Structures are given as structure tokens and as C-alpha cells.
Structure 1
Amino acid sequence: MSYLLLALAILAEVIATTSLKASAGFSRPLPSVIVVLGYAFSFYALSLVLRTLPVGITYAIWAGLGIVLVTLIGIFVYGEKPDFPALLGMGLIIAGVGVIQIFSRISSH
């Protein structure tokens, strides 16, 4: 259940971050409301996740997946084009989260 809640928190954070760009400095009302609500839900859900999962593991997953998902949205929605070093770095982030999940004993608590 904790990982499902973490996935929802990440999804809300990604939606909020994507909407932050669309809010144009909080000058557009609808994206601005989505930003505030998305971050509020995201941090609330994250606080619930931290009741059962270690903070380091939780934050590694949160940050790593958030970076990758926001970048993908930037590519497909905003036409942004990350260069090779950016893609390589994101690949390393994904690999790092994978190593933590597969090999770390702390991730199974």
C-alpha cells in the first residue's frame, strides 16, 4: 500500500511541476490552482508514506522518478530536447533507484 501511495504522490508532484510551467509565473489561474493542489496532495501523501518506508529510500524514488517523468513530459508536451549528458544522468538516476530497490536491505523495511 505504501508504494501505491508513493506512486500517487509522485504523480501529483509531476502534475504540479508540469503545471508550474503552464502557470506562467502564476499568471494563469487554472494551472496555478493545479500547482497548489497537486503539491498539497503530493506532500500529504508523502507524509503518509514516511510512516512505513525509510525517508532515504522514499526520497530517492520520489526524486528519481519525478526527474525522469517531468523530463519526459517536457519532451512530449513542451518540445524540450535534453542533450546526451542529461539523458545519461537520468539513466544513472534510474539505475541508482534500481540498485537501491534490488540490493539494499533498508528498502525492504
Structure 2
Amino acid sequence: MLRADPCATILSPRTSLKEALERLDALMNRLVEADQTGAGIDPLRVAGELGQIRQLLAEAPAVVRAKDGQKHFRCEACGTISHGDRQPERCPTCGGRKFFAADIEQPFVESGAG
């Protein structure tokens, strides 16, 4: 059975966070499958795909805590950010129940460049 190689599609800057996470999951599944079956996988294609996913995630907007004390919670399933004093019970976009705190405690982050 032929399967589409998750490394074959180039991601564009317009790809959403959800799509980037789906691509990352597909790539991880492909790596596990290759390990379990002994099938080969091209490490340079994997590295290229990971680099593109990394770039998309790095370009995603960072969230700095609001001055009124509200926190930001990002849905693990779709990437939607909810605001409030505490984590919502469900994501308003997809109904997901798993969130992580998306606030940056330090508003100025050095890139390490220079």
C-alpha cells in the first residue's frame, strides 16, 4: 500500500499552527512506523520537514500576559488561545479539553543572535 510521505509537502508561512502540529504528528508516526517495520526513511527529508515546522512554530505569535491579569491558554488540539483567570473547561473552537499556559513571563526574549 502506498502512503503519502509526510516529508514530501513543503509548508508555507500561511500554514496554521494546527496544520503544523498535524504535520509534526504525521512525521512522528512515520518515524515510529519506519522503526517498527525496518523501512527506510530519508534523514535529510526528515530534517528538512522538521526545519520547516520549526520555522512555522517560531513565527507563531508569542503571548505576553495581559496587564489586567488575565491569562492565556492554548488548546493543544487546535491552537486556539482562550483568555481568562483560569483554564476553560472546553476550547471554544474545537471542544478540546487539554490546554497549556501560553503566557510569557518575561516580555523581552533574546534571540541569541548577534
TM-score range for the pair, normalised by the shorter chain length? 0.3 to 0.5
Report which of the two has the higher share of strand. Answer: 2
Q: Which has the larger radius of gyration?
A: 2
TM-score when scaled to structure 2?
Answer: 0.38
Higher relative contact order (CA 8 A, sep 6+): 1
Give the TM-score normalised by the residue count of structure 1. 0.40
Q: Which has the higher helix share?
A: 1
